[in-house]
Structures are given as C-alpha cells and as structure tokens.
Structure 1
C-alpha cells in the first residue's frame, strides 16, 4: 500500500463507521418517537428501549437490577443494527475496510458484555460537565441524553444530532433572559416560549446593576440556562457589556456548582470583537468593553464548570438603528446553531463573525480585559 492507498482505506473505514452509527442513531430516535405510537408493536419496541434509560436513569446513576435486560434489549440490538449497516457497504467498497470496522465494533460489543453494559458513556456520574464534543460523542455529551431523553441521540459520531438539530433541550427547561427590552432579547423570549421553554426575565438597573446582584440569586437559582442579551453602545459600556456579564456568569456558575448538570450560559457578543473601533471615537468604549468580555468569555468557553455559548451577530435592526437582518432572524439563526450543539455561534451576513472565531478561539487577547478603565 502506498500513502494514498492508506488514506483511502482510512477514509473508507471512517465512512463505514460514521454511516453505520448514524443509521443506528436514526433508529434510536424512532424508538423514542414510537413511545406514543398508535401501533402496539412500535410501542413495544419503544418500551424495550426505555429499559436502557432505567439502567442509567435521569439521575445518572446505574441501576444494576436492569443490567441483564439492558444487554438483551439495548446493547445487543445496537450491535446487530450496526453490523447490518456495516455489511451493506460490501456492495459499494472493498471488503477490507468493512471488515476492520466490523471487528472494531465487535470488540466494543464484547467489552460491553464483559462489563455488563458499562462503558465510557454508560457509568454513574455525580456531575455532567460542560466540555461536550461537537463532532464526536464523549461521556458528558451522552449523559445529556439520559438527563434529557428526547434530545442528544448520537452515540459515537455526532452526525444525526447535527443534521436533525437535537443537541439542545429547550422544551421544559427554565431560561432567565436579560435585555428583554431590546430587540434581540425580546425576540429570544418569543422564540424560546414558542419552543416550550419556561422563561423568566431580568432587567438591568432593576434586578441587577454593576456590583449589585443580590436580587438575582433567587432567579439564578431557578434557571437552567442564563441568556445575557443586555448591553449598551454608548453609555456606561464597560459595566453594561463587560462587568455585569462577567459577574452574572460567575455568580450563576457558583450557584450551579453542586447541580447534576453544569449550568448553561448564552451570551451576546458582537462583530466589533473582530474589527475593533476602526478609528471611530463613537465605537471606542463599545469596542473595548466587547473585546474585554470576549477575552473573558474564552475562559468560559473552555471551562468544564459550565456550558458556554458565545453568540456573535452582525448588525440587526433594533432601537439603535437599521441592520442587515431583523432581530427575529438573528435569533432564529442563533437557535439553529445552538440546537446543533455549536458553542461559538456566528450570526452573520458579512462573514466577519465567522472570521472572528479564530480570534476568539486562538488569539492571545487576554490583554483586552485592560483596554477600558477598571471598575
């Protein structure tokens, strides 16, 4: 085999594994959909699968009483479904990469049998951390499915959830949203409520202000997700765009440190993080405050203590002026990415928010936190 033969072999094996995994994940999704089917046989199949959720429950604790049933009704069907899907590739590609994937899948199956259904993604957990894979499923990611059984269906490769948009639970979760007097915040509330969320609001200057957050503790305690969409473009930018964002996130993280699930935060950034003030005096304070928060936000983005999503829109129509899109469109684009597990969320027509990802993720811009006067 020369180099390109090896590459082709690897790519073929990867394709087989990903597609086979995706086909099982599709069946997995159907088993949940069949829970309330009018067809008794489909409801029976669904009930068999729910044994797996009794084996590893909503509290993320293993129940050994269901270990044997879990093997017969989940582990074995998952393996057989995958093997059938793998075998179908014999029609289209050489047998060698298909055989390798079949062997790997069989080894995984045997190891799961030896551990009575336990593996890296199926074990008791006292805390589901914020570091979750996007393209590949890790234990934190799969734990989300056991806490929120109607989302997070992907088992190994995250193809299914990325395609279908089942990578964020919204229905039934409690959201605390700031900035609801503005265009983006008000549109976010409507969109979340439409998707079945329980939404509470918090007003800057009423419920909190820089250095004054005691009145927020009760609301933060009730919230599963904190959505920060308040801010200012001219007056007191430093406190509005940096200090209050930082302090509320830190406070929410502390309040949620003993929860089973890491707290989740969505925070509104700006493309000014990328292009700066462009020499315009009227953008100087706004740019400094937004860039400072972006530098801080990168720490949240990397943290296991919370699930942090950084939303970066281009201009949208608001009280501040006409934009390239409506606030409703900006929110819908943001939710499209969020429900696919994206943590850096570009909402852009210009493309600057996409380019900003590399600055946000990799640039050494920690000094941006000092670009504006300290509190």
Structure 2
C-alpha cells in the first residue's frame, strides 16, 4: 500500500536512472559502454589480496590519491576519489548549487545530469547540441547568468561521442566568470585519439575554477568496483568531500585501481585495440550511408531520430542490446570483436527499412 509520507514532488516525479538492459546468453550487451576485456591479471591478484571485508576501507583513499597525484603532477589535496565519477559530480553539484540556482550543460548528454541537478534543488539549463552532435560552447557561455553556479562540459560527449577541442575550451573558459565552477567530464578520455581534443588535467593549474572528472569504470574495465576521481583546486574538492558519503570507495576498488595504474602500459594497449575497432566500425557505418558523429569514446552514435524505437528492435533481433535515446538515436558500445558483424548487419537493415 502507499504510505501517507510527504515527499518533495520534484523527486517523486523524477525517473530513476535506467541501467543498460542485460543481454541474453547468446546476445551481446552493447548498451552500457563497458570494457569487453577481462580484468588485467594484476588486478585479479590485487582483488584476491584485498579480502578483509570485515574492515572499513581507507576513507581518504590515500594510496590511490598519491598515485594519481604523481601521474598528473598535482598534490594529493588536488585529487578526490569517489564511487564512480558520477558520485563525484553529485558532490560537486551539491556543494555549488542550491534551490534557486542554475546548472548549465549540453543536451543531449549524460542522462544522469538532469537528475543530479533536480536532487540538489537547482534548475537545469539545457543547451542543445550542434547539428554534428558536439557542444555549442558559445551558446553555453551565453546561457550563463547571475543564477548559474556550475557548468558541465562532457568530452567525449556521452552519447554522441564528440570531443571539445582545446581551443574551444580555452575560449569558453575565457568567456565565463572566473568564480564559476566548471566541471569537465572526461569519463572516456583514454579512448580519445584526436590530438586537438581538450585534456583537462593539463588545464587545472591555469583555471582554478575547473574540476576534471575521470573514472576507472570504462577504459580500466573496473565498472563493478565503482571508482572515479576528480582533479582540481583543493578548496573546491574539500567542499565536495564535505558532501560525500563516508567510506563509499571500497578497499577492493582502491586496490584494483592502484594495480591498474601500475600496469597502465598493458591497459592502454587494450584501449588502443578498442579505439582501432571503433574507427573501423565508424568508417563502415559511413560507407553504408550513415552520418554518425566522429566517435572518440568507446561507442558510436546512430542518429535514428523518430525511428529510434524501431531501430533498437532491429538490433535486438540480431542479438544486440543497445541503448536507445528516443527520439534522437542509438548508442552502440564497441564490445567484443565478434559483435561487429552483427552490428553492421543490423545497421544496414535499419538504413534499408527506414528513411534515416
């Protein structure tokens, strides 16, 4: 029965985050941008050693923060670790925005953004993507007003896969107030091969109002362990730490992330293989007659428009679970190499049966 409990109406009306559907045993799950490779052997060993589940983890993630600080040439206070980059974004939104404030971001982008803003009590200001699926940073800068407390830039953008260039981002940072928090969400940074793409960690010293988010879920393949990190000014990250749920990052997650960082050469070789396969799939789609944005994540975007629901059904008949964002398009993860032939057959069938 429904209990007579008073809830915030905007929260009661808020749809829960929808995870990518699970795939049948004979199908490929290409809906969640997961890494198809098994964990690195060193990660498996680290998890095997981190078995003291009766003890709390290090709440500060000191070892992992030190390793990340060394990697990016910052201090440990300029690194914050959380249970996935999305949890860090939630902390930053809560630290910066309150009822009556605004948060600006491009749309369509990561589907968690609207919910995080609503939970904070702030208001979303969504700026449409350009025709090619990329951020319109000039329009985003123009959308910043007196009530704006935070801007989110996603590069590569999820789900369209486009990047923001260094030049574009620097122009944007020059156009917005110096005291406005800008969050650069780089969850897919390791897959980027465009030399002109922005590299967030290299810019944080020049822009104290910039925080960069990255994750171990995608390229590192640790999605189930939920470890993400932020790089930025210690004063901003201290505010985020104040809003965090304590002890959210497990000891197992910390150990696995450290092991993955220690074997980054082996990891990046795997990432390169995924990026090469991504480029091959993208080129094949273009050859079929599609006009997908240039992909820089570990996924491709098919602009299926009003045919999105039908297109998802076609992919399902080919044993492929993809992510549908009706009425805009499909996001298809680059998964196992064995899935590629099915992806291209399904894409060809959609193109042949519709006016996409």
- The TM tier, using the shorter chain, reads 0.3 to 0.5
Structure with greater strand share of residues: 2
Q: TM-score, normalised by structure 2?
A: 0.34
Structure with greater helix share of residues: 1
Higher relative contact order (CA 8 A, sep 6+): 2
